[in-house]
């Protein structure tokens, strides 16, 4: 745990009257540290004009400045876990939307020569390749149901769930956070 000394802030130029003796200026800092699997610890320090901090010093007559510093050392890891999980769900969500769009375009018999249809089908083809041929496609008069797309959507959704669980395990998170 690191405790920093605090210098009193000046509020502008010093008044022209007699200045207060520098020896009576005191600074106080309270540091609260929260770490994983530990109770919070608190340390109060008081320092004199030299800027040195002495733990358990006698109470000063006048406190020139005081502040409480709270350090949450667990929050940094939780933030990283949340960011990684958000990235995973963004990628999975984007892929799910594009695959659903492909499924709808095929179901409604969209023209295969249209630029938008070619873009969607061309983009999703590499993600769909491992699943083609599992089930036969069914269709009539230009309308086609592609079961491989539905299977791919389910597999990628489950992969997203698995990846987020893996990230939680790797970062040591053991419980759900609300």
| Structure confidence by residue, pLDDT tens digits, 29-45 | 666 655 555 555 556 55
Looking at the structure of the chain, the number of domains it has is: 2
Adjacent-strand bridge partners of 138? 145
Do 59 and 96 sit in the same domain of this protein?
Answer: no
In a domain, 154, yes or no: yes
3-state secondary structure of 36: coil
Do 145 and 94 sit in the same domain of this protein?
Answer: yes
Please report which confidence band the pLDDT of residue 154 belongs to, taking 50, 70 and 90 as the band edges: very high
What pLDDT score does 45 carry? 58
| Distance separating the N- and C-terminal Cα atoms of the chain | 28
DSSP letter at 3?
-
Last residue of a domain, one of 73, 95, 130: 73
CA atoms of 18 and 9, how far apart (whole Å): 19
In a domain, 3, yes or no: no
Do 29 and 62 sit in the same domain of this protein?
Answer: yes
Residue 104 has pLDDT above 90, yes or no: yes
In a domain, 124, yes or no: yes
Do 81 and 162 sit in the same domain of this protein?
Answer: yes
Do 128 and 66 sit in the same domain of this protein?
Answer: no
Adjacent-strand bridge partners of 53? 47
Do 113 and 52 sit in the same domain of this protein?
Answer: no
pTM assigned to the model: 0.56
What pLDDT score does 168 carry? 87
Do 68 and 101 sit in the same domain of this protein?
Answer: no
| Mean of all residue pLDDT scores within the chain | 75
Q: Cα-Cα-Cα-Cα dihedral of 156, 159, 163, 164, to 10°?
A: 70
Phi, psi of 163 (to 5 degrees): -65, -40
Domain that holds residue 124: 76-170
Last residue of a domain, one of 8, 38, 73: 73
Do 82 and 154 sit in the same domain of this protein?
Answer: yes
Rounded percentage of the chain residues whose pLDDT exceeds 90? 33
Do 30 and 57 sit in the same domain of this protein?
Answer: yes
What pLDDT score does 3 carry? 44
Phi, psi of 17 (to 5 degrees): -70, 180
Do 154 and 106 sit in the same domain of this protein?
Answer: yes
Quick one: how far is CA 58 from the chain centroid? 42
Phi, psi of 59 (to 5 degrees): -60, 130
């Amino acid at each position: 745990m690191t405790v920093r000394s605090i210098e009193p802030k000046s509020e502008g130029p010093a008044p022209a009257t007699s200045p207060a003796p520098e020896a009576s200026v005191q600074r106080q800092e309270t540091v609260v540290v929260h770490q994983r699997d530990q109770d919070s610890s608190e340390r109060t320090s008081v320092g004199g004009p030299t800027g040195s901090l002495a733990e358990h010093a006698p109470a000063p007559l006048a406190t020139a400045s005081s502040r409480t510093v709270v350090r949450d050392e667990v929050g940094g890891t939780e933030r990283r876990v949340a960011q990684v999980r958000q990235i995973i769900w963004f990628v999975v969500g984007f892929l799910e939307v594009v695959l659903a769009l492909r499924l709808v375009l095929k179901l409604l018999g969209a023209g295969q020569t249209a630029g938008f249809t070619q873009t969607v089908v061309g983009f999703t083809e590499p993600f769909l390749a491992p699943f083609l041929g599992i089930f036969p496609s069914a269709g009539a008069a230009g309308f086609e149901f592609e079961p491989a797309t539905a299977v791919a959507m389910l597999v990628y959704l489950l992969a997203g769930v698995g990846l987020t669980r893996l990230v939680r395990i790797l970062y040591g998170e053991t419980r759900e956070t609300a």
